[in-house]
Structure 1
Amino acid sequence: MFGLANPDRFLRFTRPLMPVVWGLSIVLLAVATWLAFTAPEDYQQGDTVRIMFVHVPAASLGLIAYGALGVSSFFALVFRHPLADAAARAAALPGAAFTALALITGSLWGKPMWGAWWAWGDARLMSVLVLFLFYVAYLALRASIEDETKAVRAAAVLGLVGLVNLPIVKFSVDWWNTLHQPASLIRADGPAMPAVFLAPLLTMMAAYGLLFLAVWLTAIRTEIVRRRVLSIRARRALEA
């Protein structure tokens, strides 16, 4: 990992991986979509169960992306890892998009199942909303500070603070009595769903994971190029 901290080495290492990761993510996404639409209706939820094939992977990736942002922020703040800030910044926008998708699809599922688009007293819903707000705050903070050094430090601190919310999101359904259903995938006694629903769900989660990896690596590579362009412009401005 530390060997890839060198931007040139990182670019060389990831260049051949990009078409592979993008290609696999697109293929898996197509397969997962086909499995989701060909799965049978649930005896209670009917066709509404198909929303879960989008909602659950999106919510999971929202957490994973913030975990990547938080860990990268730690290395940027403590160890001054050369690519850590770029990795944290690159994870923010796709992470926010996945979290927003989880909130939207959760509301679409909640209306027919709960009779309401939103439940303000539900711990899972509120903690995911807080997660989304951390993403928005991180992006806004980075955009509002012109000094790159100060922006890196302030954003890294905010990224680390937001890590506190991740276990709250994960265990909120266990710690409090909420409308949101408890975990049905990662359980001590195994997944609480039939294979006909488990297969498309796991395939979609794998597709989302590869899609995030592809977007993340592409964004990091773009950030490296952006910083090099800014450095060249600044050097030419000084020479002029």
Structure 2
Amino acid sequence: MNWQWFHRLGSPRWFYEKTNAWLPWLMVSAWGLLLIGGVWGLAFAPEDAKQHNSFRILYIHAPVAYVSMSCYYLMAISGAVGLIWKMKLPFMVMKACAPIGLGLTIVVLATGSIWGKPTWGTWWEWDARLTSYLILSFLYLGAIALQQAFQNRDTADRASAILALVGMVNIPIIYKSVDWWYTLHQPATLKIVGKSTIAPSMLYPLFVMIIAFYIFFTLVLILYTRTEILRRESRTQWVKDIVLGKEEGARS
């Protein structure tokens, strides 16, 4: 079997050059869908019968939550690929995921607290979903800290990858916590398997926002990874040519 395509995917230069053409399309798609979904959900979706307009924070809270968990899976899988096949690019993707994931979890925790105050009467509760999600933010923070703790980059990558793989056990706990334990959170209304209990008029703008945030995440991840590629490959000739070309363009 020809594995050339697989090794090409692991090439930092190939990734950097290939993604040049993706960035404008991702940027337009992300901001366009965020605008459409945001206006649709915040202004035109019907008011919830019990939570009234406070439920509208769902259109930010839920999509960011989905993306933040997917980001962790990607970080762990990238770390595993780097460990097994000794490829450079997966480790760069893994490192790029950590600060993005931390930012996403902070948004989820903040919007959850804002939503929880009018709904539960408290900003924070040591609820199973909230606690497991707080652990997720610590896992992202731990991955960032490990990258900074070792002077040897290979050691830092391996340590971060191992932490990411061990932490994967927390993701299904987050997802199933509302089913396994009595919590303040209501059971999941948007279900991958089974019928969703959210009204279609509320569901459609939510789907748009989920897609929009996934595209936005892809855009930011590519930008972070490209920056990491330039940093790690700074001694290679192709990166020097890029930097030299930018400097000449700025002077002209």
Query: Normalization by structure 1: what TM-score?
Result: 0.92
Tell me the SS of whatever aligns to 1:44. coil
Deviations 1:119-157 (A, max 9, x none): 11x111100000011001111111121111111111111
For 1:134 and 1:187, the matched residues in 2 are separated by: 25
Q: Which amino acid aligns with 1:157?
A: I
For 1:206 and 1:187, the matched residues in 2 are separated by: 15
- Further displaced range: 186-195 or 143-152: 186-195
Q: Which amino acid aligns with 2:23?
A: M
Q: Which residue of the partner structure matches residue 72 of structure 1?
A: 78
Q: Which residue of the partner structure matches residue 163 of structure 1?
A: 168
Q: Which residue of the partner structure matches residue 206 of structure 1?
A: 211
After superposition, where does 1:52-131 map in structure 2 within 5 Å? Answer: 52-120=58-126, 122-131=127-136
Deviations 1:188-217 (A, max 9, x none): 431111111101111111110000000011
Find out whether 1:40 has 2:46 as its counterpart. yes
Tell me the SS of whatever aligns to 1:182. coil
For 2:189 and 2:87, the matched residues in 1 are separated by: 38
For 1:4 and 1:54, the matched residues in 2 are separated by: 32
Q: Which amino acid aligns with 1:104?
A: A
Residue in structure 2 matching 1:3, options 3, 8, 18: 8
For 1:65 and 1:153, the matched residues in 2 are separated by: 18
For 1:150 and 1:187, the matched residues in 2 are separated by: 38
Following TM superposition, by how much is the alpha carbon of 1:187 offset from its aligned partner in structure 2, in angstroms? 5.2
Following TM superposition, by how much is the alpha carbon of 1:82 offset from its aligned partner in structure 2, in angstroms? 2.1
- Further displaced range: 33-42 or 80-89: 33-42
Identity in percent:
37
Following TM superposition, by how much is the alpha carbon of 1:48 offset from its aligned partner in structure 2, in angstroms? 0.4
For 1:129 and 1:27, the matched residues in 2 are separated by: 31
For 1:65 and 1:189, the matched residues in 2 are separated by: 24
Q: Which residue of the partner structure matches residue 3 of structure 2?
A: none
For 1:4 and 1:78, the matched residues in 2 are separated by: 15
Q: Which residue of the partner structure matches residue 189 of structure 1?
A: 194
Unaligned segments of structure 1, at least 5 residues: 233-240
- Further displaced range: 73-82 or 126-135: 73-82
Q: Which amino acid aligns with 1:95?
A: G
Following TM superposition, by how much is the alpha carbon of 1:40 offset from its aligned partner in structure 2, in angstroms? 2.3
Q: Which amino acid aligns with 1:98?
A: L
Unaligned segments of structure 2, at least 5 residues: 1-5, 238-252
Q: Which residue of the partner structure matches residue 246 of structure 2?
A: none
Deviations 1:154-205 (A, max 9, x none): 1111111111111111111111111111111015431111111101111111
For 2:97 and 2:77, the matched residues in 1 are separated by: 11
Tell me the SS of whatever aligns to 2:138. helix
Q: Over aligned residue pairs, what C-alpha RMSD do you find?
A: 1.4
Q: How many residues are matched?
A: 231
Moved over 6 A (4+): none
For 1:9 and 1:199, the matched residues in 2 are separated by: 37
Q: 1:159 to 1:42 in 2, by over 3 A?
A: same
Following TM superposition, by how much is the alpha carbon of 1:103 offset from its aligned partner in structure 2, in angstroms? 0.6
Query: Normalization by structure 2: what TM-score?
Result: 0.88
Q: Which residue of the partner structure matches residue 18 of structure 2?
A: 13
Tell me the SS of whatever aligns to 1:129. helix
